[in-house]
Amino acid sequence: MERLERSGRWLRAALARGPLRRRLPALLLAIAVLGSALKDSDLVPDTPLQNKRNPLNVYFVKVAWAWTLWLLLPFITLSTYELGRSKLLYGRTRSALLVLRRLGALLVGTAVWYLCTELFIFIENLTGECSLQGQPSQPGQPPRLYASKRDCQRDSGVWNGFDISGHCFLLSYCAMMILEELAVLEALAIEHSSKLRVVINVLLVSLCSLTMIWVFMFLCTALYFHDFSQKLLGVLIGLAAWYGTYRYWYLKPFSPGLPLPNIPLSSKKYSYSR
């Protein structure tokens, strides 16, 4: 338990505070630009990570939103309820309502993930054409026109379209969302002997580890996959989704709200690290 407590404190200092949240967008853009430059210059060595079937890609990145959702759901629920129940905020009933409001951020995130993914598929289908290799057309028959990447691949063809990097979009959006939600720890008061503190520490370590995986796999995507424009557009859409929610919409009354309400942070009594 002591090791878990130390890990929680170190990770909170490294990932949950403001400076990294402010610098991560620029870091992600820099990774996309420099990674693409290295890829185009053929300076990237061959590694197992360039295989799309590597374990990190199959078991984490392919279901990145599910991992993010499953860990943020209990974290937001427990941390928001505990924060809202304190004397500085609300009673139990209003704390429960605050939890429901804050969980709306996960519904918004799910909508962002789904709509952007569908938009990327639509753009790729709209801009692409199918190339059938080794399959000569039948005499007197016009070549078949394919409306989608799925139909083309069903006939063993190769679809050439503008494939916006879904990995760059989703990994940047998930990483920024996790760091935003961890900001609540700056005002969360939990006793050292509390079981809730142990649960929060486990979730904190898990979320910070997941964030590091997302940034690392973002780097791998920049080094091994997609064209520069596809990666740049993907990360810009991911950052725009984060900025439009946490930096604009969530400041409004009719929204899920920010993780950290306007309470006096100068009070040492309400510090997670006490």
Catalytic residue numbers? 167, 226
Q: Calculate the CA 6 to chain-centre distance.
A: 26
Greatest CA separation for the chain: 83
Contact 177, 211 (CB under 8 A): no
Bridge partners for 160 per DSSP:
129
The whole-angstrom separation of Cα 26 and Cα 168 is 14
> Between 2-11 and 195-224, two packed helices, what is the crossing angle to 10 degrees?
50
Bridge partners for 159 per DSSP:
130
Q: What is the token pair recorded at 119? A: 């938009």
The whole-angstrom separation of Cα 53 and Cα 219 is 16
The whole-angstrom separation of Cα 235 and Cα 129 is 25
Residue 78's nearest CA partner among 206, 164, 237 is: 206
The whole-angstrom separation of Cα 57 and Cα 216 is 11
Residue 240's nearest CA partner among 186, 164, 185 is: 164
Report which residue type is found at 188. Answer: L
